[in-house]
Amino acid sequence: MQVLLEKHDQEFIRKKNRMLAFNSIQHHHPISRTDIAKLSGMSAATVGRVVADLIELGLVKETDQISGGVGRKATMLDLDLESIMTVGIEVDRNLTKAALVDLSGRIIAEKQQVVDQNGKQLDVLIDLIVHMVTEMAAEQGIPLSKFVGAGVGLPGIVDPDQGMVVFSAQLGWRNISFVKMLEAKLNMPVVLDNDLKVKALGESSFHSLDGIPAESITALVSIGSGLGTALIMDQKIYRGSRNIAGEIGHSIIDPNGKLCECGKRGCLQTYITDLALLQEANQIREVRSLQELFQYMEQGEPWARSIIDRACSYIAITINNVVCAYNPNHIILTGKFIEDHPEMFEAVKLKLQEFVGEHFSGSFEMFRSKLGERSVMIGAAKLVLQQQIDYGLVHK
């Protein structure tokens, strides 16, 4: 039976099918239309149509290559790496990073600069970002017209629809129209989101290269200066009603616990963040960095071992609580605590046996980050790409 379609339904399906075809090409280029159809389950006619869309959007091109094998020869498709470029930007408390990212998610050039945001010189930061991007583009000989957009990930509560930073304790910002300010000087569309959300998007799309199916539910758990999670469902960021889903660092575990920066007591993050561990350590001895704390542990200091062991317990508890809430099938455990001390990943894994209940323990696999320190930039660039595929920010 034929179905009559509304315009918004048509749009929905077009986006979905375009993304499906683009992912097939991104993961298997060069590839023929026939093989896209095989991989994605779409019919030849639909593949033809959405590939035409992707070519029009400047994302995909036909190559000179012809498919091998028996049967009819077919023109191969590839990412149109020369046609379109994206920018990924990470703004953190002390460091601002920017990268030029191509359609395959590969970083072409990157720069970083120490900037102390507590000075609150927003103009300086905007100018710096514009400078970094234009300089890199010039160095690479890429005209600015090739950029379909820049994605920015930063810590705090972000309203992506309004392009606003609602509140960021780390940056000391409140109600900042960041997108408007940056677009005025950067001359390309800018999309903005919370750093962990774009990080999760970046990581999950790269993990999916390795065979994690697209329908998976991936929860990213990050432990560093803060504690947070982000959820990716159907390859999209789960935002909740105000884009603040995943702020599990502020879930309360002890109403009589330590005061948190948010003003409440006993938030989960008061047990695990860098600052919390250092505060504890300094009750015993002057310790200025996590690195130093780990050194004391390696030297056999029982108090250092106890602090780190307890942190691992609370990370395992965090994972249990994430699993109870979201029931994901994949968890990516990341953040400075894990990245700088990879042996902690295994330590946490051991703790899971104690803290994750029977019916959840087999329900997920846990991975480390694949993108490391570049994950926010790559994820922010991926967000630009998603918007380009969904809405066509820029038509070539």
Residues in contact with its own copies by the rule CB under 8 A = 3-6, 8-10, 12-14, 16-17, 41-43, 45-46, 49, 157, 166-167, 216-217, 229, 239-255, 262-264, 313-314, 317, 320-322, 324-329, 354-355, 357-360, 363-364
Nearer to its own copies, 214 or 262 (CB): 262
Angle at 247 between CA 353 and CA 112, to 5 degrees: 100
Query: Could you give the 3-state DSSP secondary structure of residue 55?
Result: helix
Instruction: Return all residues near 256 (Cβ < 8 A) that are at least 6 apart.
Output: 265, 266
The region that residue 276 occupies, defined by phi over 0 for left and psi between -120 and 50 for alpha, beta otherwise, is: alpha
Q: At closest approach, how far in Å is the CB of 3 from its own copies?
A: 5
> Could you give the residue ranges of the DSSP H alpha helices within 187-262?
195-209
Q: At closest approach, how far in Å is the CB of 175 from its own copies?
A: 12
Give 382's Cβ-side CA count (13 Å radius): 27
Contact 87, 188 (CB under 8 A): yes
Nearer to its own copies, 22 or 326 (CB): 326
Q: What is the 3-state secondary structure (H, E, C) of 272-302?
A: CCHHHHHHHHCCCCCCCCHHHHHHHHHCCCH
Nearer to its own copies, 200 or 322 (CB): 322
Q: At closest approach, how far in Å is the CB of 354 from its own copies?
A: 8
Nearer to its own copies, 24 or 243 (CB): 243
Position 134, amino acid: T
Q: How many whole angstroms from its chain centre is CA 96?
A: 16
Nearer to its own copies, 5 or 66 (CB): 5
Q: At closest approach, how far in Å is the CB of 216 from its own copies?
A: 7
Nearer to its own copies, 96 or 243 (CB): 243
Nearer to its own copies, 2 or 299 (CB): 2
Cα 318 to Cα 337: distance, rounded to the nearest angstrom = 14
Q: At closest approach, how far in Å is the CB of 118 from its own copies?
A: 20
Q: At closest approach, how far in Å is the CB of 348 from its own copies?
A: 14
Q: At closest approach, how far in Å is the CB of 365 from its own copies?
A: 11
